[in-house]
Amino acid sequence: MEDFLTLRQLIEDQDYHSTFDKKWHQQTFNRISEYLIKDTEPAFSFWDDETEWTQLDAKYQEKNKDNEDMLRFTLDPDLSKLARNIKEDVKKRRILFGAATVCSLHLQDPLSSPKNDITNKLQQAFKRLSKKFAPDWSDERFENSPLSYYVRGIQIFSSSETSKKRFSFSMFSESRYSDSSFEPLTKNDKKALLLLGKENLLNFFLLRKQHYSYPEILYRYEKVFQEDPFQRTAYWELPDNGEMMYQLELCDKKTIFNYHKDYLKNFTGHSSSWGSKTFDLMRDPSIKEMTIELMMKHIKEDRYAVEEFFANHISGAVDKEDYWISKRNPEKYTYFHPNELEPLTTELKRLIEYDFQNKPKSMFELSDFNENKTRFRVAVDIAYFANRIGRWREYDSYQVMIEAVDKFLKNYFSSDYIIQSFTSYLHSRVKQDRCSGEVGGRPNDALNYFNDYINKSKKTDSIQNLDHLLNEMINFFGYKPLTNRSIYIKTLLDKCNDEE
Amino acid sequence: MTYKNPLIKKALKSDTLKELSVSNTIEELHKLFNHCLETYKENNDLSLQNAYILTIATLISRNRFNDSSDTYYENHNDVYNDLLKMLSNLHFNQSEMKKWIPEIFEECRIAYQYENTHKFFAKVFTGDNYQDYLKKIEPIIFSWDAWFSVIKDFNSSEEAQARLIKLFSSDSNLERFQGNIYGTYWRIDFLEEVLEYCEENNMPSVKHHCWKIIASEAVWGMNAEWLVNQYGYDNFFGPNKKLFEKEFLKIAIGALDHFDYDKELQWKIAWDIDFDFNKFAESEKLITFLQKRKSLRTQEILDYIENKKNDQWEYMYRLGEIFKTDPELIKDNSKIWEFFIHLPHSILKAVEEGTIRQINWSKKVKYIESIEYWKDAVPEFKKIHAGKPSEEQLLVKLLDHLSEADEKYSDVIDRLEEIGFENFNTETQKEFRDHFVNGNWRDICEPFDVYFPSEFNDEDGFYNDKKEWISFAKWSGAHEW
């Protein structure tokens, strides 16, 4: 494809395609589709032993097995070169698919007169492209997917005078995240998408989820990600994919629900304002029932996540005084009154009420790690030390301060058992905090500091991130305060009670 | 844009530019450039003339990317090095290329494009040609980094000084470089850097010509007075002191009137505009300004005290601070003075009624003690507090000790533990929950939420006995790591 850059203009410049005649579009379509379909190279994958990638990666893992530096991949020239080549190839093929889509629209109207040969070729190319991924997720955002290029082709074509406004594809607009949780597909949107074939579309969505379940390159060497490879980037894409699966009726509801299970178990509202993202397929009664059932089971494993889910879904129905929530269009979100989420509401209410009553009592009981001190005192001891560091200029010198830090930490991490328990606690916190920085502390930074301290790396001369470690220590050795989210839920549930 | 240079005109109409223009990224342009170069070579057509056209077309294409990840010159995949290599091989003529300057810069739209293009030509021109080139681009270059490097590259410090003075004497001065950094600390930071350079290179009069920008910054921006004080007021403005004061007062009076449609904004401006006016020469304008400012500040305080939404503690700190810096503002208005003088009693009443919280009690009582007109009320504060249930007093003490990082907190905990949470009165239980049971938005208990200094900036620090700023980065030695 020597003239690739010229062909790219078909999906970049809305006037460019109309400068060619039908014959040119037919020839170009044939040329591109043949190129895309005949590609028999194995797809890039982390899990296929036959790929060049896997072989090179295995070689370097073996060579560097004692090297802890997770960034070694980026420094390895062969892998870097291969990654770059794969990335370019994948991107190029997707762009060409978009260009072929533009040409196909000059040859057939997808809404009224689709032609078998054109449709077949588009479907085959899409099927082939669905299996090809770039190595790095930054190149794999949904807007770079083959389906998005297909839609972009339709949008470019339909922006011309004759076929204006026949399609909406608001679901594919990036700006929509600011004012809606989901968007419906129009009848024409559905028709155009289904031209790619129900089975192909379903396969495309399933493969994307499968790919999301493998760690990004930079993180794949980290133990915590190997244990729990579900990727944070998936939070943005999976609910949209699920929406399309549902609205296009690609499969049964149980399959669609299962597609979301990991997402739901790690639900996040994406924002500091509650309810800016909801699981909108709960508008379907049977999916709602399955979701509540899942949450009831999950509450024992990860109450934090269930509370996050719950708070986001009741906020819009109950917290109407909140400025940001009141500004939202309720049609574009899926909120429920707590009564509509039973038995989850009753269960969470019981747990939160129990905590509310018992937390202060347990704070005045003896610490699990120091039989001479209450949990409250341990927490305040650590907070006092943090406060001393915050007033750093009162130390005689930086060195004196660092020695005080060392002495303080040694006092707490006095045995292997405690170190191991605390490490696994931090790992569980990191897992909980997969959308970093949204709520809660910064466990990943705490873990990094702690690892440096335990491994006696020279970085422990710094106090950067020590505050996060001390916060986690307060929770682990002392007590964990009631979360902001628990208090928020309690406030809303109390409000509902008062109203009743 | 109509270009005069025939070579640029030719390049703009060339097929080469069409071919290069389809590129979106550095890598693509690089590839296409090499493709064009190879084609010229294969056709034995690589004349110096064609190399110039290829160079101009490449520079233009490089500035037309629609790629958000477009980067600076240093990218190793960038086309500039190959361009230089091609030109060198053909023994290019600097005088010929000098004719493209400054027109070729017309194709730049964004700061970094100016910077890239400048970095390229900085490698093309040498000796006097380079000095001539600098003179031509200094007035038009948009990137402040690149502009400053141009200034620093002048062989003659007289030339550099003349250019600097010309810039600061113009009405636009640094405005010309702003763009999306408008309203940030950038102007003062950059000015500080420029003036440091001028001092080191013996161009002391440059700072005297900064009166316009300092006047504007002192009214609308921040930190201007700090920068002036680095050099001393008289030394900074030198013979232009009067010009500064006149300009400052003109802008300041204009600013006070500017938001007359929005009282709150107008009041904010009246508080924001501050300078050591004792240094100013007496003038009618100065009197007008100070009167206007006082009137607006008084209006604001009156509105503030009439707004019942505020907590008495907030009133205490706000009015206390105003009194410490400008007692006349409080004393000269009978309504404000009455409110001010009775504030401790209003606080006591609110405490008795339980409408305000008692956190950081001792700190607040100490604050009341620090104001002459309030200190008589202190025994009453102590008496009221002594009458509270012991757990309530202890909780107040604990919070005080924690905020002061005072190790006496430990004894207080002993006593709270002896009492036990279940025996706290309802109000203290609620207070205790708010502080030590309920997490804030970061799921952290509020008294445990401490701020640690950063090793990477100079903002966390203190003044030592010699009045020198000791940042945490310096104290810890982090800036040497």
Structure tokens at B38: 């190879």
Considering CB atoms only, which of B443, B452, B477 is closest to A390? B452
B131 and B49 within one domain: yes
Please give the average per-residue pLDDT across A370-375, as a whole number: 91
* pLDDT on residue A490: 96
Burial of B170 (0-12, 13-18, 19+ CB in 10 A): middle
Distance to chain A for B143, nearest Cα, Å: 30
Structure tokens at B380: 């009453």
Q: What is the residue-averaged pLDDT of chain B?
A: 90
B102 and B1 within one domain: yes
Vertex B369, ends B366 and B372: CA angle to 5°?
A: 155
pLDDT at B94 exceeding the cut of 90: yes
From chain B, the residues in CB contact with A474 under 8 A are 445, 448
B173 and B79 within one domain: no
Structure tokens at B388: 């509270």
Q: For residue range B115-165, what is the model confidence (pLDDT) as tens digits? A: 999 999 999 999 999 999 999 999 999 888 899 999 999 999 999 999 999
ipTM of the assembly?
0.78
pLDDT at B221 exceeding the cut of 90: no
* pLDDT on residue A162: 63
Q: How confident is the model at residue A163 (pLDDT cuts 50, 70, 90)?
A: low
Q: Which of A93-107, A388-402, B424-438, B446-460 is least confident?
A: B446-460
Query: Over pLDDT 70: what percentage of chain A?
Result: 87
Q: How confident is the model at residue A251 (pLDDT cuts 50, 70, 90)?
A: very high
* pLDDT on residue A219: 52
Instruction: Tell me which amino acid residue A354 is.
Output: Y
pLDDT at B459 exceeding the cut of 80: no
B344 within 8 A of B312, measured Cβ to Cβ: no
pLDDT at A214 exceeding the cut of 80: no
B392 and B465 within one domain: no
B163 and B100 within one domain: no
Rounded Cα–Cα distance for residues A440 and B296 (Å): 43
* pLDDT on residue A86: 87
B127 found inside a domain: yes
Find the residue in B nearest to A6 (Cα): B22
Please give the average per-residue pLDDT across B443-447, as a whole number: 88
Tell me phi and psi for residue B345, to 5 degrees: -70, -35
Residues contacting residue B289 through CB under 8 Å, at least 6 positions apart:
B249, B252, B253, B256
* pLDDT on residue B180: 58
A/B interface, count of CB pairs below 8 Å:
120
Q: For residue range B58-84, what is the model confidence (pLDDT) as tens digits? A: 999 998 886 666 666 666 778 999 999
* pLDDT on residue A456: 77
* pLDDT on residue A132: 87
B243 and B149 within one domain: no
B35 found inside a domain: yes
B195 and B51 within one domain: no
Please give the average per-residue pLDDT across A494-499, as a whole number: 89
Q: Is B32 on the interface with A (CB under 8 A)?
A: yes
Q: For residue range A118-147, what is the model confidence (pLDDT) as tens digits? A: 999 999 999 999 988 887 777 888 888 999
Residues contacting residue B62 through CB under 8 Å, at least 6 positions apart:
B26, B29, B79, B113, B116
pLDDT at B238 exceeding the cut of 90: yes
Query: Over pLDDT 90: what percentage of chain B?
Result: 61
B31 and B149 within one domain: yes
Question: What is the extent of the structural domain holding B65?
Answer: 1-155
Which residue among B278, B307, B336 closes a domain? B307
Kindly give the interhelix angle for A77-107 and A52-63, rounded to the nearest 10 degrees: 160
Q: In this complex, do B478 and A6 lie within 8 Å of one another by their Cβ atoms? A: no
Range list of H helices, B259-354: 263-272, 284-306, 312-325, 327-331, 334-353
pLDDT at A216 exceeding the cut of 60: no
B266 and B192 within one domain: yes
Rounded Cα–Cα distance for residues A104 and A340 (Å): 48
Q: How confident is the model at residue B353 (pLDDT cuts 50, 70, 90)?
A: confident
B407 found inside a domain: yes
Instruction: Tell me which amino acid residue B281 is.
Output: A
Distance to chain A for B462, nearest Cα, Å: 8
Which residue among B283, B307, B331 closes a domain? B307
* pLDDT on residue A50: 74
Q: Which of A354-368, B87-101, B295-309 is least confident?
A: B295-309
B315 found inside a domain: no
B62 found inside a domain: yes
Structure tokens at B95: 């005088």
Structure tokens at A60: 């370097």
pLDDT at B301 exceeding the cut of 90: yes
Vertex B171, ends B167 and B173: CA angle to 5°?
A: 35
B362 found inside a domain: no
Query: Over pLDDT 70: what percentage of chain B?
Result: 95
B160 and B138 within one domain: no
From chain B, the residues in CB contact with A462 under 8 A are 455, 478
pLDDT at A1 exceeding the cut of 50: no
Find the residue in A nearest to B418 (Cα): A364
When divided into structural domains, chain B yields a total of 4
Which residue among B131, B155, B179 closes a domain? B155
Q: Is B443 on the interface with A (CB under 8 A)?
A: yes
- What DSSP state is assigned to residue B469? E
Which candidate in B67, B436, B463 is best for mutational testing of the A interface (most A CBs within 10 A)? B436
Structure tokens at B425: 């009165």
Q: Output A49 or B170, whichever has higher pLDDT.
A: B170
B225 and B148 within one domain: no
B293 found inside a domain: yes
Among the listed residues A85, A179, A78, the one whose alpha carbon sits nearest the alpha carbon of residue A132: A85
From chain B, the residues in CB contact with A487 under 8 A are 438-439
Give the CA diameter of chain B: 102
* pLDDT on residue A225: 52
* pLDDT on residue A72: 46
Q: For residue range A377-392, what is the model confidence (pLDDT) as tens digits? A: 999 999 999 999 999 9
Considering CB atoms only, which of A390, A440, A487 is closest to B442? A440
Q: For residue range A293-331, what is the model confidence (pLDDT) as tens digits? A: 999 999 998 888 899 999 999 999 999 888 889 889 989
Residue carrying structure tokens 């504030």: B343
B456 and B432 within one domain: no
* pLDDT on residue B3: 85
From chain A, the residues in CB contact with B441 under 8 A are 272, 439, 484
From chain B, the residues in CB contact with A398 under 8 A are 475-477
Please give the average per-residue pLDDT across B75-104, as a whole number: 92
Q: Output B294 or B310, whichever has higher pLDDT.
A: B294
* pLDDT on residue A164: 62
pTM, full prediction: 0.75
B193 found inside a domain: yes
